[in-house]
């Protein structure tokens, strides 16, 4: 179809619109070979106009900035509440769960209204304070050094505690989610304690609003293939959701 410059523009327009494109689909839609499309994407990446991944391309990920939890609580409030309600429906009597730190996880704690016994271990002081009045919930607060931006604990005391425990489910928040970098966060110590949480848990459930898709935090938590379930809002980019589901990860859109 058309000349190369026109095809490049249409590729970039599609990425801008959808956030994500597949080599196979571009080859079909533009009636050119997949080899040609890969050359197009390689050229556009060299111009720093997109980011290539295996069989696809996406917008360039921006590095997220570490912000205080009080500031982040004011963003995407309705989406976080819907995500929290969907997550609470996954709980079962006598579950032993980890709730990590972050504003979506705090929304999850605020939405918990259960009539059965539940054990929660958390690094988030705000989550502990939210749940401490519920007679059905036993709370274990991890101890360690206070990370003030997230009002949560980090460090080797908390990590050592996680080494000796096992949980049904981990509810995890992220600062970024994409195919190249997996799950990321903006703080190195936060990333490390999140890895310990993942190692201690049977099922990894990511709670994140759509603004985190295609973003990259400073520190990597894990690859996407460690995740079992992602709960997000309906504004999440459809191409990314399709690709995630193709890998076998369950996605719930609310």
**Domains of the chain by start residue, with CATH:** 4-58 (1.10.10.10), 69-253 (3.40.50.1360)
- The pLDDT of residue 21: 83
- Helix or strand holding residue 10 (H, E): helix 4-18
3-state helix, strand, coil in the chain (%, to 5): 40, 25, 35
- The pLDDT of residue 66: 60
Instruction: Tell me if residue 168 falls in helix, strand or coil.
Output: strand
- The pLDDT of residue 55: 76
Biggest CA–CA distance in the chain, Å, is 68
- The pLDDT of residue 5: 85
Alpha helices in 151-187 (DSSP H): 156-163
Residue pair 125/143 in contact (Cβ under 8 Å)? The answer is: no
Within 90-198, strands assigned E span 96-99, 118-122, 137-141, 145-147, 152-154, 167-172, 176-178, 182-185
Nearest-angstrom CA–CA distance, 214 and 123? 26
Residue pair 131/139 in contact (Cβ under 8 Å)? The answer is: yes
- The pLDDT of residue 251: 98
Whole-prediction pTM value? 0.77
pLDDT digit string (tens) for the chain, length 254 residues? 458 888 998 988 888 777 778 888 899 999 999 999 999 988 888 887 777 776 777 776 655 556 666 666 667 899 999 999 999 999 999 999 999 999 999 999 999 999 999 999 999 999 999 999 999 999 999 999 998 888 899 999 999 999 999 999 999 999 999 887 899 998 889 999 999 999 999 999 999 999 899 888 889 999 999 999 999 999 998 888 988 999 999 999 99
Within 5-162, strands assigned E span 20-22, 51-53, 56-58, 96-99, 118-122, 137-141, 145-147, 152-154
Those residues whose C-beta lies under 8 Å from the C-beta of residue 4, and which sit 6 or more positions away, are 40
């Amino acid at each position: 179809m058309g000349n190369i410059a026109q095809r490049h523009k249409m590729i970039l327009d599609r990425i801008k619109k959808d956030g994500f494109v597949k080599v196979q689909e571009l080859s079909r839609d533009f009636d050119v070979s997949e080899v040609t499309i890969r050359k197009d994407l390689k050229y556009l990446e060299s111009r720093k106009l997109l980011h290539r991944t295996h069989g696809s391309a996406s917008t360039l990920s921006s590095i997220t900035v570490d912000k205080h939890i009080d500031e982040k609580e004011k963003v995407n409030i309705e989406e976080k509440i819907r995500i929290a309600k969907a997550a609470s429906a996954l709980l079962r009597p006598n579950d032993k769960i980890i709730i990590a730190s972050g504003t979506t996880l705090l929304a999850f704690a605020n939405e918990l209204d259960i009539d059965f016994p539940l054990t929660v271990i958390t690094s988030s002081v705000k989550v502990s304070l939210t749940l401490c009045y519920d007679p059905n919930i036993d709370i274990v607060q991890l101890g360690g050094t206070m990370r003030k931006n997230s009002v949560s604990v980090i460090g080797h005391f908390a990590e050592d505690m996680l080494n000796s425990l096992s949980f049904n489910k981990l509810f995890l928040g992220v600062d970024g989610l994409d195919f190249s970098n997996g799950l990321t966060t903006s703080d190195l110590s936060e990333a490390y304690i999140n890895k310990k949480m993942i190692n201690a848990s049977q099922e990894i459930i990511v709670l994140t609003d759509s603004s985190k898709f295609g973003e990259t935090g400073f520190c990597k938590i894990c690859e996407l293939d460690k995740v079992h379930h992602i709960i997000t809002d309906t504004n999440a980019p459809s191409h990314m959701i399709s690709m995630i589901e193709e890998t076998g990860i369950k996605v719930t859109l609310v």
